[in-house]
Structure 1
Amino acid sequence: MRTYCGELNKEHIDQTVEIFGWTNRRRDHGGVIFLDVRDKRGIVQVVINPDNKNFTLAETIRNEFVLKISGKVIARDDNLINQKLATGEIEIVADTIEILNASKPVPFQIDAVDTSEEVRLKYRFLDLRTNVMQQRMRLRSKVTHFMRDFMEKHDFLDIETPFLTKATPEGARDYLVPSRTYPGEFFALPQSPQLFKQLLMMSGFERYYQIVKCFRDEDLRADRQPEFTQLDVETSFMNEDEIMALMEAMTRGLFKSVIDVDLGDKFPTITYANALDKYGVDRPDMRIPLEIIGIDELLENIEFKVFAEPAKNPNSRVAAMKITGGSNISRKQIDNYTKFVSIYGAKGLAYIKMNEEGPASPILKFLGTEVTQNIINKVDAKTGDIIFFGADKIKIVNEALGNLREKIAKDLDLYTCKWAPIWVVDFPMFDANDDGSLSAIHHPFTAPSVDAKTLESTATTALSRAYDLVINGSEVGGGSIRIHQVAMQQTVLKLLGISDEEAQDKFGFLLNALEYGCPPHGGMAFGLDRLVMIMTGSDSIRDVIAFPKTQTAACLLTNAPASVPNKVLRELGVKISLPEKD
């Protein structure tokens, strides 16, 4: 009967055991062969003495051979105990050895820390054998198990929704699937099950959940993938406070159960407007003790136009951020930070260093002594601090200083705690585009906090009934109360510039369903990949997905995407016209 390698200990001494696994390492010591054999539970050392009948066979064993070994468990000498292994107090003296399968020389040593991501993804089946990936996948499984258990205990029903559906208003980001039976027409892979889960509420199920794959064809970042997994939740007859309380309870229980982290009794709440004003982003990392402070009123009347003009412009702002003890930041590092904020459109990064002999900065001559002192007083700067400034359009200043805040905190290790969840609420309904049109901040099915008539006259300032859960500066979940009345849904689509004809074409089934007794409802979706990334302390969601895509949305393991034969394209009614190469 099989015994797992990692479960062997002193209680097994003098027992004969049978193990299966891979050769993690092989060593020859004076005619004695030592094998570190690895399975899903851990590693154990196997000793093969020269008088073993399988010794010649053992000499052929190399790393990653698949083995079946039986032998007697013995205690290691005290001076040979390996404290780094859970099984380090014992070893197996092999009796019989069977090579179940050989392995070619591997392109990298399993558990090597310096293997490039490109090689790891190309040979993902080997990378997944590493201890760190094994642990991450196990933790991910525990997360989904807890979520399912929580949902079932709270009377939620697991219902699958279609993968082949209709393109959304954001169709440019859809993955399209050509239909063979309807030539020239396409299905779209869902960016979320949003409309189907709302239809389930209209169908009377009241509480739905699903751990589901979603697809989005967009530029990638470390925390995004073209296909991603989310916990999707929808419920009827609950308001936002009730939904947030339930999802908070699940999150709190999840962290405690899976990684033994106590997130506190109640998560704090911040409005969208306050988050942007103080922290520059709508996903504030509350572990960081740095705040962005508006100083427009101090600079409106100075002659220095770089600051004065944004200070007087209602669509711009001048803001400062004090870093306690930051005066020792070098000029080279300031130059690096200046280059960093340029990513977000900032034209520069002004600063004042609070040195022993007084404030120092190239901009002091433009500010004057009084204004400089007023700024120092406003941000409460002391000797040894540094103040950084942003002056531009509101969005540019917020993004530049908000992301600089996070970078400086990481560089200087300014975190005041390990975990900091927070709810962000009171999002605007719409975002105004440069051409005057409106875009939905979340999606077109989010309910506003006002009635339809008021919404029409206050579209640019109206708030939505949406909420995001942020942990350590990452949005791990977002949701809202949905529109459940057809007149309100038509109003929102109209404000988004969607004509009645287009609305019927894209959402006719939803608009029709809303007229048949739709209950008030709302929900939330958690990004499972991002949540597991945070819980494991990984730098990328690619590190917590078994078979991820690269940042260019390619699979190095299978060489996807790939071309298909012309015969297949003809059957689908698809003709490819590639842009000419330079």
Structure 2
Amino acid sequence: MRSIYCGQIREAHVGHSVQLVGWVNRRRDLGGVIFVQLRDREGLVQVVFDPDLQEVFDKANSLRAEFCVQIEGVVRARPESQVNADMATGAVEVLGKQLTIINKALPLPIALDDHQKNSEEARLKYRYLDLRRPEMTERLIFRAKVTGFVRRYLEAQGFLDIETPILTKATPEGARDYLVPSRTHKGKFFALPQSPQLFKQLLMVAGMDRYYQIVKCFRDEDLRADRQPEFTQIDIETSFLTAPEVRAITEGLVTELFEEMLGVKFDAFPTMTYLEAMTRFGSDKPDLRNPLEIVDVADLLAHVEFKVFNGPANDPKGRVAVIKVPGGASLSRKQLDDYQAFAGVYGAKGLPWLKVNDLSKGVEGLQSPILKFLDDQAIQGLLARLEVADGDLLLFGSDSYKVCTDALGALRLKLGEDLGFTRTEEWAPLWVVDFPMFEEDEGRLYALHHPFTAPLNASPEQLTADPLSTISNAYDMVLNGVELGGGSVRIHDNAMQQAVFKLLGISSEEAEEKFGFLLEALQYGAPVHAGLAFGLDRLVMLMTGASSIRDVMAFPKTTTAACPLTEAPSFANPQALEELSLAVKKTDA
């Protein structure tokens, strides 16, 4: 039915007969000649119907938007005055000779033109129509090319594409698992995997020393623009490679991918420790396109008679730090109040500020409601350390280390976006390394990455003696403030794995119940192994400039994890529930 895609016709095809299939993008009747824009996945081409072929002309006159049609015709050059430089096929058109209406279309429930303002709910309900929009079609084609490139690259590096189970056992974060009841094992449940982590480690024990998989994963948690209940990972695991060697392979993958797909050439990725990232940028995934930095000043303010500063400055768990905003002295009081409210979302109790209006006037050239609490020593120390200039603004954070860091880190990003500091046209990749093994919350330890991450140069005894000071052998790839992928060297020793479980409050009995198969496997010559998993959806979102991963997925869910198209989730068939020995508990909600 088709000899060529619409969007592939060029001047070289002039004089050729072609068969086209696709959808009517637009129909216009101009002075007795009908022009139809025909669209398929590769793009648009203009088809002209002349009244000389009356039967075909009459049929063309009946066409409406989104009719599915087949057209046979001859390619010809457009008159020079009618060339459309905005279309890839703008130098040619097709003179329609035959027209077959494959299927008519009802009036559309959503708009498909360039100026559509459909609600997201409507776009997802009629996703099969929304995906016809060239912008959406191009993103799915781009995604397919990305996965194709990834497969070719990894297979050239000796990696094997191996599938792992979808029906598996609940993870330590069991509350976030999607559970699947078993009909043949009454009262028992499978879980959908949050990642193939344990299976890919077992593949390393099995000797499959270079594994990869482009795999669906599932997580039942609150959603954001870059989160979905089901998402796709580029999952990679290796044996007998060090962390730097794994980083080199995966950095090569991303570097070659960007050059192939976008023509972007990266230099070697810089490496930054977790401590440096949190200290300078207030984030473990810093956006290096933004030049604003957080500067510690607790030592300069520990002596001042102002509890807002001297309290945290003299508290080992406190932090006092500043962001210098070049030109920020022009911000209004309302703008400053708005930024204070923004910082308050992250727990900050205030956002003290100081404007540098005219350095030549000394203290008289400064403006701040807190100026009266600062002595000359503190003021001169601040001005020198921040290297201020006329017109600068200083914004202070002063609280517990976490609140101060989180608030200033988020504020840094907002200021960069609002005031135009962030260089949106650039790419800024980096590796973040040397993460803490654990973080503490209300006296309990949690793994910063996951409980199968190995410590960096620590024995089980050393780890147990001082877990909060232990550094993990983990690494994250970050691009423009987005975590593209996270990985680590894994624990390959049974004693170390049991020590980590114990520190996380997982008893020997619980560890045996949930991870007995892994603990046993580690006793049969388990090799040193390491890996990394990329978020494919995030990667494609960044590369295409989409604002949400939903715009690079064919059939995503809403922010409430629902599917308007199929109306899932739905109530189960009572007979199915009976076979599964399940009953649904009714709630008031």
What is the aligned partner in structure 1 of residue 154 from structure 2?
151
The correspondence of residues 83-482 of structure 1 with structure 2, limited to 5 A, is 83-113=85-115, 114-264=117-267, 266-356=268-358, 358-416=365-423, 418-434=426-442, 436-449=443-456, 450-482=458-490
Distance apart, 1:3 and its partner CA: 2.2
* TM-score scaled by length of structure 1: 0.97
Distance 1:3 1:155 in 2: 36
Once the two structures are superposed, residues 187-229 of structure 1 have per-residue CA deviations (whole angstroms, 9 ceiling, x without a partner) of: 0000000000000000111111111000111111111111110
Distance 2:181 2:222 in 1: 22
Does the C-alpha gap of structure 1 residues 373 and 579 become closer, same or farther in structure 2, counting only changes over 3 Å?
farther
Bigger drift between 367-376 and 183-192 goes to 367-376
Distance apart, 1:15 and its partner CA: 2.7
Once the two structures are superposed, residues 347-393 of structure 1 have per-residue CA deviations (whole angstroms, 9 ceiling, x without a partner) of: 22221122236221222122244423322222111111111111111
What is the aligned partner in structure 2 of residue 26 from structure 1?
27
What is the aligned partner in structure 2 of residue 39 from structure 1?
40
Amino acid corresponding to residue 394 of structure 2 in structure 1: I
What is the aligned partner in structure 1 of residue 68 from structure 2?
66
* TM-score scaled by length of structure 2: 0.96
1:2 aligns with 2:3: yes
Contact 1:267 1:421 in 2 (8 A): yes
Once the two structures are superposed, residues 409-449 of structure 1 have per-residue CA deviations (whole angstroms, 9 ceiling, x without a partner) of: 11222135601111111111111111x11111111110012
Distance 1:415 1:76 in 2: 44
Distance 2:250 2:516 in 1: 31
Contact 2:295 2:386 in 1 (8 A): yes
Q: 2:77 aligns with which of 75, 93, 96?
A: 75
Contact 2:214 2:235 in 1 (8 A): yes
Amino acid corresponding to residue 23 of structure 1 in structure 2: V
What is the aligned partner in structure 2 of residue 12 from structure 1?
13
* Secondary structure in structure 1 of the residue aligned to 2:430: strand
Bigger drift between 155-164 and 49-58 goes to 49-58
Distance 1:336 1:60 in 2: 56
* Secondary structure in structure 2 of the residue aligned to 1:54: helix
Amino acid corresponding to residue 116 of structure 1 in structure 2: S
What is the RMSD of the two structures over their aligned residues, measured on CA atoms? 1.4
Contact 1:111 1:131 in 2 (8 A): no
Distance apart, 1:330 and its partner CA: 2.7
Once the two structures are superposed, residues 275-312 of structure 1 have per-residue CA deviations (whole angstroms, 9 ceiling, x without a partner) of: 11110010011111111011111111212111111111
Amino acid corresponding to residue 375 of structure 1 in structure 2: L
Amino acid corresponding to residue 194 of structure 1 in structure 2: Q
Contact 2:110 2:126 in 1 (8 A): no
* Unpaired stretches in structure 1, ≥5 consecutive residues: none
* Secondary structure in structure 1 of the residue aligned to 2:312: helix
Distance 2:85 2:110 in 1: 25
Q: 1:563 aligns with which of 544, 567, 571?
A: 571
Distance 1:497 1:371 in 2: 46
Bigger drift between 183-192 and 376-385 goes to 376-385
Contact 2:340 2:351 in 1 (8 A): yes
Amino acid corresponding to residue 3 of structure 2 in structure 1: R
Distance 1:459 1:141 in 2: 43
Distance 2:301 2:150 in 1: 52
Contact 1:14 1:73 in 2 (8 A): yes
* Secondary structure in structure 2 of the residue aligned to 1:387: strand
Distance 1:544 1:76 in 2: 35
Distance 1:221 1:367 in 2: 42
* Secondary structure in structure 2 of the residue aligned to 1:255: helix
Aligned residue-pair number: 579
Distance 1:580 1:368 in 2: 60
* Unpaired stretches in structure 2, ≥5 consecutive residues: none
Distance 2:34 2:376 in 1: 78
Distance 1:206 1:9 in 2: 47
Contact 1:294 1:319 in 2 (8 A): yes
Bigger drift between 204-213 and 368-377 goes to 368-377
| Identity in percent | 54
Distance apart, 1:109 and its partner CA: 2.9
* Secondary structure in structure 2 of the residue aligned to 1:228: strand
Contact 1:70 1:97 in 2 (8 A): yes
Distance 1:504 1:252 in 2: 42
1:497 aligns with 2:512: no
* Secondary structure in structure 1 of the residue aligned to 2:468: coil
